[in-house]
Amino acid sequence: MNDAGEGSSQAVRIGIDAGGTFTDFVAAFPDGRVLYHKEPSSSIDPSEPVDRGIRLLLDQAELSPDHPVLIVHGTTIGLNAVLQRKGAKVAVVVSRGTRDILEFERGRLPDYLNLLARKPEPLVPRERVIEIDARLDAQGETVRSPSREEMDELCDSIARIDPDAVAVSLINSYRNSFLEEEIGAAIRKRFPNILVTESSRVWPEIREYERSVVACLNAGIHPLLNDYLNTLSTRVASTGRPVALQLTTSAGGMLSLESARERPVETMLSGPASGTIAAARLAAEVGVSEAITFDMGGTSADIAILSDGRFEFTTNSHIGGLPLIMPVVGVSSIGAGGGSILTVDSAGALKVGPESAGSDPGPVAYGRGGNKPTLTDCYIALGIIDPADFLGGRLKIDRAAAEAALAVVAGKIGRTDAAEAGQAALDIATTRMATELFKLLALGGHDPSKQMLIPFGGAGPTHAIMLAEEAGLAGIVVPPAAATFCALGAALADVRRDLLRSIGEARFETLDRRLWPVWSELEAEAQNWLRVENVPVLDVSMEYSLDMRYAGQSHNMLVTVAEPIRQAHDLQGVAEALHAAHEALYGFRETDDAVEVVSVRLSITGRVPAITLPDLAVSQAAPVPKGTRAVFQRDRWVDAQVFHRSDLLADDVVAGPAVIVQPDTTTWLPSPWTLKVHRNGALIASRSNADEA
């Protein structure tokens, strides 16, 4: 699968984002052509639409059979398995006395203001957690090591459970992986078909509960992703072309199948991360430094914040109520998707989501058996989406069915007709999104009025101005081919991996002999990993950071250390980095307190050749609409001009109310908004009474 290694800068590069409703493709060819494509996803065999889309694009390439192909693939298989608790059957091996670690968690209430709030179910039930007499002290020295008889008893217990995968997470193994590796080797020898995850090999961080969760997440999705990659590899190999297949990661990079099989947990949030990569590039091209990405697909709406042109990372994300302490692009879910179902409760209150119609049966208007109206049905009933031009006419839409379903909702909530019910549902979804958006902006100290919204996903451009108006944002920037934007981000991804060493609670006075050698070890490990990946890169960069805190604090701060400080072995510079970061977030610094370093981090990035997207021709005259259609706006029907996006040229200006139609999505431009077309094809819109974006 790595035959496309050398010379892949001239390879056909295909980015793929496999979502719950559609699987999206972007193909960049050496001659400058860029093709976009969507395939309905399959819950039965997710690799089938991927294979179908790849073959269709390669057929259109008209290249020689030996021309190299680089496929960069983001997938939600792991994420969906965790959210739906449909992962593989996992057994967990822990140190004696810690069997309840997944149930005790951090000993905190899920909601301090709600004494009846329930914790999420443990990822692995207690009856599948096995204790063994193996323990390390806080310095990583072996306190107790299991005997051969205890190892045999452990394997007998695993045999009785009959799991698909095993996670091993011992006390203090973040300091020394020896015991976990010894136990893992014994399990593999006895059960060669069972996949084993050692927590110290996946993510050796100090927190016992969080590290155990990461190990269990990795083990739970390991068999699923492994089976999927085996099937996909076979399908791709059958094309007869030299193909290199890579997966995107939650941190916005890409890695090989071998690395993904080792740490599949790295791929869980790969789709949203890929969209953020593409958004960062788009923002730089149009001169926007402060922006919010808005990825609204069929099941959810997710955002990430770009500050000074860079997306933010976090090590405190949660998936289905479970902590994921590995570095990921800071993507947060803020609301519903186009497939979110409308319901009315017993009190007559209209609700949107969280249940989604997905792609099967999908919205009522799809005519696939769905009988519950969704937000997509609302767009159709309000005239925003044209039934005759949905997905370029590939999918037939039944507007009458959508209106009939919404009319039932209207009767339950005291509204007159389907349009009013649809508008009410969109208002509810928008208000909920804006509320969550305000929280996230406030946490980072960002001013909403200075933020541009970059919408993508099938429903992102359709809903973008509704959200921008509700949240008081500066405007929106709609990317070209917005519905396949995450697939474009996958094609743009660089090679990247994050590494970590936890060193306990190293006081400042001991750092000089501990910090610099650890970074040297991580550098060597990172460079060796990049060589094994065998992907040609233009250059390599590394970023160095630390988990730091003042003595006595219960939380850590992730602090980036500038390269001059690291090269000079400047400990005072390291301390100042913590003081500056603490002051920026909390408004003060504690220079008299002792400084501690808990973990040492390194990120390596290999930059791949860029994809050059074609510029539009410059407009010589005002754009001519293809016609008009009635759209329901603010409780009344208005005549909106209809433009095909492919007809718009650079510097074209369109005033609302207008609908901009393209095969993969629809952009709704209400009055008094106006948009201007950028040379790269982006639609930059703002209120006409505001400063031009």
Q: What is the largest CA-CA distance in the chain?
A: 84
Cα(354)–Cα(403) distance, integer angstroms: 21
Q: Which residue has the higher pLDDT, 594 or 130?
A: 130
Residue found under tokens 């869980």: 268
Residue 690 has pLDDT above 80, yes or no: no
Every domain range in the chain assigned CATH 3.30.420.40: 8-81+226-267
Compute the C-alpha angle 439/444/448, nearest 5°. 65
pLDDT digits 0-9 by tens, 551-605: 888 888 999 999 999 999 999 999 999 999 999 888 899 988 888 899 999 999 9
Please give the mean pLDDT across all residues of the chain.
Answer: 89
pLDDT digits 0-9 by tens, 504-559: 767 777 788 889 999 999 999 999 999 999 888 899 999 999 999 998 888 889 99
Helix axes 178-190, 148-161, angle to 10 degrees: 60
Cα(444)–Cα(438) distance, integer angstroms: 10
Is the distance from CB of 635 to CB of 423 less than 8 angstroms?
yes
Q: Which residues contact 615 (CB under 8 A, 6 or more apart)?
A: 650, 679, 680, 681
Strands annotated E in 536-657: 539-550, 557-561, 595-607, 627-633, 636-644, 653-655
Q: Which residues contact 584 (CB under 8 A, 6 or more apart)?
A: none
Q: Which residues contact 152 (CB under 8 A, 6 or more apart)?
A: none
Is the distance from CB of 446 to CB of 289 less than 8 angstroms?
no
pLDDT digits 0-9 by tens, 35-71: 888 888 887 888 999 999 999 998 887 778 888 899 9
Residue found under tokens 């010894």: 182
The band of 407, judged by pLDDT with boundaries at 50, 70 and 90, is very high
Per-residue pLDDT, 54: 92
Every domain range in the chain assigned CATH 3.30.1490: 494-607
Per-residue pLDDT, 689: 63
Is the distance from CB of 318 to CB of 120 less than 8 angstroms?
no
Per-residue pLDDT, 555: 85
Cα–Cα distances (Å) from 449 to 290, 291, 302, in that order, read 10, 11, 19
pLDDT digits 0-9 by tens, 422-475: 999 999 999 999 998 998 898 888 999 999 999 998 889 999 999 999 999 999
Cα(600)–Cα(162) distance, integer angstroms: 37
Query: In this structure, which topology does domain 494-607 adopt according to CATH?
Result: Dna Ligase; domain 1 (3.30.1490)
Per-residue pLDDT, 2: 37
Per-residue pLDDT, 6: 40
Per-residue pLDDT, 380: 93
Cα(213)–Cα(196) distance, integer angstroms: 14
* CATH node for 8-81+226-267: 3.30.420.40
Residue 151 has pLDDT above 90, yes or no: yes
The band of 319, judged by pLDDT with boundaries at 50, 70 and 90, is confident
Per-residue pLDDT, 235: 92
